[in-house]
Amino acid sequence: MFPLEKNYYTYSGSLTTPPCSENVNWIVFKEPIILSVEEVLKLKENMPANNYRDEQPLNDRVVLSNKLLQ
């Protein structure tokens, strides 16, 4: 499931579900993980409706670039 290249971005933020105030460290792979339509629909059916928020501005967050060690 994970991409071959383990390069990623990381930044401090919050959860995307209400109350959106919990602190978390996000790790986002630079190489996207491709899902089929069926996989997306399966994920969607297991998520509560309208329990998310839209993208937020960067504000003063620092985004770092790194690579996972294997």
pTM of the model: 0.66
| Cβ neighbours of residue 60 closer than 8 Å, sequence gap 6 or more | none
The tens digit of pLDDT for each residue in 14-57 reads 888 778 888 999 999 999 888 999 998 898 888 877 667 778 88
User: In the chain, how many domains are there?
Assistant: 1
Residue 17 placed within a domain: yes
Q: Identify the pLDDT of residue 67.
A: 74
Please name the residue ranges forming H helices in 1-70: 37-45
Q: Identify the pLDDT of residue 37.
A: 94
Domain that holds residue 48: 7-67
Residue 2 placed within a domain: no
Residue 34 placed within a domain: yes
Residue 1 placed within a domain: no
Q: Identify the pLDDT of residue 48.
A: 75
